Amino acid sequence: MSLKSEIFEQPAVLARLLENQKERIRAIAVALRDYDIRYLFLVARGTSDNAGLYAKYLWGAFNRLPTALATPSLFSLYGKPPSLKNALVLGISQSGQSPDIVQVMAEAQRQGVPTLAIVNAPQSPLAQMAQFVIDVEAGPELAVAATKSYTAQLMVIAMLSAAMSEMAGDTEDRWADLERVPALVQQALDLDPVIARAAERYRYMEQCVVLGRGYNYATAFEWSLKMKELAYIIAAPYSSADFQHGPVAVVSQGFPVLAVVPNGAVFADMFALLKDLVTKQGVELLAISNRDEVLSLAHTAFRLPSSMSEWLSPLATIVPGQLFSYYLTRAKGYDTEAPRGLHKVTLTH
């Protein structure tokens, strides 16, 4: 039962980060002001890459930083790394071990640009290579599918965004919002019995799409990855906009659409699409939200607290997705702890 217990550890992990890392993160935000940073260059794989998508939207919106996702093969296999001048290079990794990720960090160091690692293993090669390191302190993660290390990465990303805003003179107090996150995540975990029952209906689902936009684009990708890793379902993640530029063609009567649609700036756009998909095309909608309109439209609805701030919602919206993936995996009779073909640490070049 280690996967389930790791999912339930999340409020404690997040509370610990708020307690232990705030001053260190503020100090890093101060130190970063010495550099002329124009954009973020992000290197990560798998779940950590999905956490990076959150940074891309959050730091874009609040800290005005555009994000380039790295192309590790240019550094490793091609030996033709791009110039990183004026970049902040951010490596995110649970284990800090994959050689291609470490190689990008090494090149950043050679080029003399500032580097930051967000890891769950502060002694790892990735951390040792970076100028600044933040330990997500998630504790040992034994299940192959990452859960608590993901939300811990999101929390560090959110805290760093708040600290950078603060250092830039923004007077909005984002820390008060951050302090509410562990309780929000606990409320999402309280859906556990509802989700356990709901998963049964999807026992024979083999494929689906997962939609999310803006801050929750990351959630669509991470939920989709859990569905693939654990339940072996081909789950294809999209923003509601990208989905309409082609992939929507796959949809027919009864096709399952999983959607992450909390209240916020992208809600109206997402809701208009989902309403069309349900009423005109007859899709099966499973929604994670805190808005009545979409919850009542859905065949299966996971309701989150209405008080949630959109910018922090990804920390809570992924939780029903994790639990749903867990219970669906059990319903299908698969191994929740050690999915086929995977190891906890993946080494790619």
Q: Applying CB under 8 A, which part among 59-67, 124-132, 158-166, 288-296 lies near a copy of itself?
A: 59-67
- When binding is defined by CB under 8 A, the residue of 13, 28, 51, 65 that contacts a copy of itself is 65
Min dist. Cβ of residue 150 to a copy of itself (A):
12
Instruction: Report how far residue 21's alpha carbon sits from residue 207's, in angstroms, rounded to the nearest whole number.
Output: 40
Contacts of 192 (CB under 8 A, 6+ apart): 323
Task: Determine, following the binding rule CB under 8 A, whether residue 339 of this chain makes contact with a copy of itself.
Answer: yes
Residue 51 identity (one-letter amino acid):
A
Inter-residue contact 118 to 101 (CB < 8 Å): no
Closer to a copy of itself by Cβ: residue 134 or 230: 230
CB 104 within 8 A of CB 43: yes
Cα→Cα distances 212→111, 209, 258, Å: 36, 10, 9
Q: Is 247 in the site for a copy of itself (CB under 8 A)?
A: yes
- For position 41 contacting a copy of itself by CB under 8 A, the verdict is yes
Question: Out of 180, 201, 228, 344, which residue is the one contacting a copy of itself (CB under 8 A)?
Answer: 228
Within 205-224, which residues bind a copy of itself (CB under 8 A)?
A: 206-207, 209, 213-214
H or E, element range at 311: none
Which of 15, 18, 31, 69 forms a contact with a copy of itself (CB under 8 A)? Answer: 69
- With binding defined as CB under 8 A, does residue 171 bind a copy of itself? no
- Select from 185, 191, 266, 285 the one that contacts a copy of itself (CB under 8 A): 266
Of 246, 261, 163, the residue nearest 212 (C-alpha): 261
Q: Which of 23, 64, 169, 254 contacts a copy of itself by CB under 8 A?
A: 64
From 5, 19, 35, 38, residue interacting with a copy of itself (rule: CB under 8 A): 38
Token pair 């027919």 is at which residue?
Answer: 252
Which CB atom, from 82 or from 122, has the smaller least distance to a copy of itself? Answer: 82
* Interaction of residue 182 with a copy of itself, rule CB under 8 A: no
- Closest CB to a copy of itself among residues 193, 333: 333
H helix runs in the chain, sequence order: 2-8, 10-32, 46-63, 72-75, 99-111, 125-129, 148-167, 174-179, 181-189, 192-199, 217-231, 240-244, 267-281, 292-297, 313-331
Give the side-chain half-sphere CA count within 13 A for 106: 13
* Smallest distance, a copy of itself to C-beta of residue 56, A: 6
Residue 115 near residue 130 (C-beta atoms within 8 A): yes
Identified binder of a copy of itself from the candidate list 19, 78, 168, 200, rule CB under 8 A: 78
Binding mask 304-333 for a copy of itself (x = CB under 8 A): ------------------------------
Q: What are phi and psi of 261, to 5 degrees?
A: -135, 65
Beta pairing partners, 284: 256
- When the beta carbons of 83 and 296 are compared against a copy of itself, the nearer one is 83
Minimum distance, C-beta of residue 203 to a copy of itself, in the bound complex (Å): 17
Given 1, 80, 112, 204, the residue binding a copy of itself (CB under 8 A): 80
Per CB under 8 A, 167 contacts a copy of itself: no
Tokens representing residue 169 in the block? 């003179």
**Judged by CB under 8 A, does residue 139 bind a copy of itself?**
no
